[in-house]
Copies of this chain bind each other. A is one copy, B any other.
Amino acid sequence: MRKQIILSAFLWVIISLGTFAQQALWGAAEIISPEINSDNTVTFRFQAENAKEVRLTGDWLPMDGWKPGYIAMTKGEKGMWTYTADALPSELYSYSFLVDGIKCTDPNNVYLIRDVASVTNVFIVGKGQADLYKVNNVPHGTVARRWYNSPGNGMMRRATIYTPAGYETSKEKYPVLYLLHGMGGDEEAWIALGRTSQILDNLIAQGKAKPMIIVMTNGNVDQEAAPGESTLGFAKPTMQLPHTMDGKFEETFMDVIKFVESNYRVKANKANRAIAGLSMGGFHSLHISRLYPNTFDYVGLFSAAIMPNDKVKAKAYENFDATLKAQMDNGYKLYWIAIGKTDFLYKSVTDYRANLDKMGMKYTYVESEGGHTWRNWRVYLSQFTPLLFK
């Protein structure tokens, strides 16, 4: 049979081209961009024969007030615009092109991450902190998107759950970190922008963090799931959602814990539960940990919003001082507060610390450079997780 129906080498070329032409609506030329050079300089390339001006904007460039900063690219042969950035510190960076004033993603870089309602290209510069953000040759955990029942919210809800390498085949029980996103985020934020699975795979392989389960919930109780993953379809994400900070998430958080503790092999006790979050997720972590004041031995507040809007009247926010005192009196191993020096929440966190000092509630404080950025939150995660469950 083989001879009659053979596909010649020629036909295989056609298959490749044909499939490519149909699969890839617009084939990209063989341009490498960005190119991370061996000295950590980074070369960007963008082909635009007829453009008058191509600029590059990226999150390592100084801001122009509230606007992103821009760098002009240089036009070379065949309309190839290039720019090489000076050696960059190890980090995960975002960037985009501005072509005659129009934002364009890089057609030669398929790596994009959504942050709320924006999608931008990313790249990683290694040889430093960001080596933790890379997939390295180490055992890898499993990342699952799983739906659980939240009776308190009257809906099935979606969570992203990291189980460490070996979880499925070992007979052991594991500790759990509940890791919460900020405003505009969802259950995809920490795994995508936060590089949680890469950071934990690497820290665990290095013996720096204990193997743990990480549960990344969706803190917007009005949502079943992240944008595009619910019955709302491909709706445009928004920063502000109803009921994000009205106490409902905190009051129904036991739904998450019950689900995890009845569906995973976990050590279901205070010594093996941690909760942490960034910005609004820090707010949620603060309130959940004092609302259930004998539940978590580890609390992490990353660039945390501290107190609710004065107009919000919710049971979860009543008896603040008393519940915080109960949490203190019950004891815990770590209450970890981190914030950047230029974070717009710096003052409220400073005030909160002063009050903790006044009431004698112990905490560990880490002050970093920078502001309210994922760059800081990835660092905080990589600093916080090695302190857990020891």
A382 at the interface (CB under 8 A from B): no
Contact of A124 among B19, B25, B233, B237 (CB under 8 A): B233
**From A191, which residue of chain B is reached at the shortest CB distance?**
B145
A64-75 toward B: CB 8 Å interface, digit per residue (1/0)?
A: 001010000000
A291-327 toward B: CB 8 Å interface, digit per residue (1/0)?
A: 0000000000000011111110000000011001000
Contact of A231 among B49, B111, B137, B320 (CB under 8 A): B137
**From A262, which residue of chain B is reached at the shortest CB distance?**
B169
Residues B137 and A142 in contact, CB atoms below 8 Å apart: no
Interface-facing stretch out of A8-16, A210-218, A266-274: A8-16
- Name the B residues within 8 Å of A105 (CB-CB): 104-105, 119
**From A2, which residue of chain B is reached at the shortest CB distance?**
B320
Chain B CB count within 10 A is highest, among A19, A96, A120, A228, for: A19
Chain A interface residue count: which class? 35 or more
Residues B19 and A184 in contact, CB atoms below 8 Å apart: yes
Contact of A6 among B12, B14, B237, B307 (CB under 8 A): B307
Interface-facing stretch out of A170-178, A250-258, A328-336, A347-355: A347-355
- Name the B residues within 8 Å of A90 (CB-CB): none
A140 at the interface (CB under 8 A from B): yes
Contact of A372 among B19, B108, B142 (CB under 8 A): B19
A116–B16 Cα distance when bound, in Å, is: 11
A308–B6 Cα distance when bound, in Å, is: 7
- Name the B residues within 8 Å of A240 (CB-CB): 16
A365 at the interface (CB under 8 A from B): no
A107-131 toward B: CB 8 Å interface, digit per residue (1/0)?
A: 1111110111111101110000000
Residues A1 and B355 in contact, CB atoms below 8 Å apart: yes
* CB interface residues, A 78-115, toward B, < 8 Å: 94, 96, 99-105, 107-112, 114-115
A23–B119 Cα distance when bound, in Å, is: 10
Residues B102 and A102 in contact, CB atoms below 8 Å apart: yes
Contact of A310 among B6, B58, B122 (CB under 8 A): B6
Residues A32 and B321 in contact, CB atoms below 8 Å apart: no
* CB interface residues, A 232-281, toward B, < 8 Å: 233-234, 236-237, 239-240, 263, 279
A176–B18 Cα distance when bound, in Å, is: 31
**From A145, which residue of chain B is reached at the shortest CB distance?**
B143
Contact of A110 among B7, B114, B144, B351 (CB under 8 A): B114
Smallest beta-carbon distance A52→chain B, Å:
10
Question: Chain A interface (Cβ within 8 Å of chain B)?
Answer: 1-2, 4-9, 11-12, 14-16, 18-28, 32, 48-51, 57-59, 66, 68, 94, 96, 99-105, 107-112, 114-120, 122-124, 134-137, 139-140, 142-147, 156, 158, 165, 168-169, 182-184, 225, 227-231, 233-234, 236-237, 239-240, 263, 279, 305-311, 320-321, 324, 344-345, 348, 351-352, 355, 359, 371-374
Known: A19-B279, A24-B116, A99-B102. 8 other contacts (CB 8 A): A8-B310, A16-B183, A19-B239, A24-B117, A51-B102, A134-B231, A139-B147, A142-B146
